Structure 1
Amino acid sequence: MSAALPFSEPPWLMGLPTPIYQETHRKWQAAIRAFIEKHLLAHAQEWERAETVPANVFDEFAAAGMLIHALPAPLPVAWLKRLGIHELLGGLRVEDFDYLHAVIYADEMARSGLAGPSGSLTTGMAVCTGP
């Protein structure tokens, strides 16, 4: 994958060696980028101007398990499995989710450059989650 602008992507996404990011991180990034581009970034400017995100967007993110990432890592695996959630988007097992997956999620959510639309989907979850 090559970037259109220098330094617009992290080096590990441009194929440079990394001692930190593993294959689960690469697969996770690819899967959530496609989802976020379709369900958030395509409309982010419009929603920013309207100062609201339609309720169906929250439902789409919830149905895809894309709100779970607002929980702090490590995820509450036993609790999620009792709810029937064993994998996240891209086939990432909930027990394999780590802080780097959370950082990748935050990076992808921020790609629009706007805090409003992505924040409206995640901030309430993060603020209301107990320590």
Structure 2
Amino acid sequence: MSASTAMSASLFDTARREAETHKWIESQKHGCDLGDHAIREWYRTYWLLYCRHRRLEHIRGETRWMEFETETFGVRYTLIMTHGLLADRILDRLDLGYENLDVIAWSQEWDLPMLRVLDILEAIDVNRARIDHPAAM
């Protein structure tokens, strides 16, 4: 399935379902309905990490998220074909939670080609995942 024909999912819709699940689990643990407090807690605790993981899914071509650019859907393959193992190692580190600065420090430590590292980080643009959560939450 190409990027243009891939079904798109919405971060906001799926996150709301995750928050509702969190509310149910936490309410069960406490023996009462925690209501909107549990929903707000999920957004405060997990929203940014949730968006980051969805960004990486989008880059890998697993799920087309409508909040991210169509042209970056599935770009992992192109990055690996262009930059080889270096792109794969950088993606592994981002999957582990490394920030761009961590990847840059790692690449300096291993004397890796900095311009290629920066090109890869720019293409992935993991910081694009820092989307504000809905104000209603």
- Fold shared per TM-score above 0.5: no
* TM-score normalised to structure 2 length: 0.33
| Higher CA-based Rg | 2
Report which structure shows greater RCO (CA 8 Å, sep ≥6).
Answer: 1
Q: Give the TM-score of the pair, scaled to structure 1.
A: 0.34
Q: Which has a greater percent of helix?
A: 2
